[in-house]
């Protein structure tokens, strides 16, 4: 699992059946200072998040298990991070 920040959302005009009614977000990994690192990527989300939210993201084959029916996804947001404490720094979402 990793900590990422929501950059925005993605809308699909056509999609395979498992992606119908699913919300997708554009996310970017963050470092210990909660600054963005690496490239932006797309993740399905268990629940719609807001732009700027820090989120818990599962990036593995287990991501497909986040919904009642299996979805062919390898990244899924499974939680909103309200409070992040890393060593001597503390961050609150929002």
Q: How far is the CB of 24 from another protein (least distance, A)?
A: 16
Shortest spacing between CB 73 and another protein, in angstroms: 10
Q: How far is the CB of 7 from another protein (least distance, A)?
A: 14
Closest CA to 41 of 3, 6, 81: 6
Name the residues that contact another protein, by CB under 8 A.
1-4, 29-32, 34, 37-38, 46-47, 56, 58, 60-66, 70, 76, 78-87
Q: Which residues contact 41 (CB under 8 A, 6 or more apart)?
A: 26, 27, 28, 75
DSSP 25: E
């Amino acid at each position: 699992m990793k900590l990422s920040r929501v950059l925005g959302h993605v809308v699909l005009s056509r999609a395979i059946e498992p992606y119908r009614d699913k919300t997708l977000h554009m996310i970017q990994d963050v470092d210990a200072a909660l600054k963005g690192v690496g490239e932006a990527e797309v993740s399905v989300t268990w629940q719609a998040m807001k732009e700027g939210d820090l989120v818990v993201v599962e990036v593995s084959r287990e991501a497909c298990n986040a919904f009642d029916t299996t979805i062919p996804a390898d990244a899924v947001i499974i939680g909103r991070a309200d409070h992040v404490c890393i060593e001597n720094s503390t961050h609150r979402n929002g």
